[in-house]
Amino acid sequence: MSTSTLGNPPRSMAQFTATTTRAGRLTMIIGLMVSLSGPLYLVLFADLGVTASALLTAFAAVAGTFFIIWLVEPVT
């Protein structure tokens, strides 16, 4: 890493953090919605005989196993 061309480190990093935080949050929310659109279409409109109780049971089973990891992994 060269150090001879140092500009304004705090301001550069602050801009970088601001841009990536804003863009990261926005793209993540869009990705979240897009990723759920397919499964939601299947269970709501594809007429596959899916019941709400089956969805809840399956989600509860996944949550029971992964709930702690959902919280811990993003932090670590």
Q: How far is the CB of 22 from another protein (least distance, A)?
A: 9
Contact yes or no for 43/50 (Cβ under 8 A)? yes
Q: Which two tokens stand for residue 71?
A: 């919280």
Q: How far is the CB of 68 from another protein (least distance, A)?
A: 11
CA distances from 69 to 26, 66, 75 (A): 23, 5, 10
Query: Looking up tokens 């897009």, which residue turns up?
Result: 34
- Binding residues (CB under 8 A) for another protein: these are 1-9, 11-13, 15-16, 19-21, 23-25, 27-32, 34-43, 46-50, 54-55, 57-63, 65-67, 69-71, 73-76
Q: How far is the CB of 10 from another protein (least distance, A)?
A: 9
